[in-house]
Amino acid sequence: MNFLIDENLAPRLASELVGVVHDAVHVSELGLRSSPDYEILKLAFSQKRVLISRDTDFGQLIERDTSRSPSLILLRRFGDYRVATILDRINSISVVHNEVLTSGGIIVVDGTRDRVRRY
């Protein structure tokens, strides 16, 4: 699975995901640090990447225009934002919710549960 990691998460998360059979890149590697959210969404969509973020604005933008939006994993009230913890959850989510992530949807990780919304 291809991921785009937002700037509010550690750049190391991208390199750790690559080590676990995923393709991942952090927005800072692409020169997109401090870019508007719509530009990050546009890039994720054009490169067929699942966006991983803590920024709720992405969910609101996607809800307005699902026709040209990437899938989103939104980490909310996660509790433990260490790279190893996030990596474990992303790997689990990519297996359990693979169909949603490849066909289009938002997965909100809220503590220990996942809320899934398809579009």
List the domain range (segments joined by +) for residue 21: 2-118
Weakest mean pLDDT among 26-30, 31-35, 39-43, 75-79 = 75-79
Model confidence, pTM? 0.93
Number of domains in the chain: 1
Burial pattern 10-31, b for ≥16 Cβ within 10 A else e, equals ebebbebbeeeebebbbbeeee
What is the chain's Cα-based Rg? Answer: 13
Residue 78 clears pLDDT 90, i.e. is over it = no
Between 110 and 73, residue with greater pLDDT? 73
Say which residue the tokens 């994993």 belong to: 73
Tell me the pairing of strands 105-110 and 113-118: antiparallel
Q: How confident is the model at residue 75 (pLDDT cuts 50, 70, 90)?
A: very high
Residue 103 · residue 96 · CB < 8 Å = no
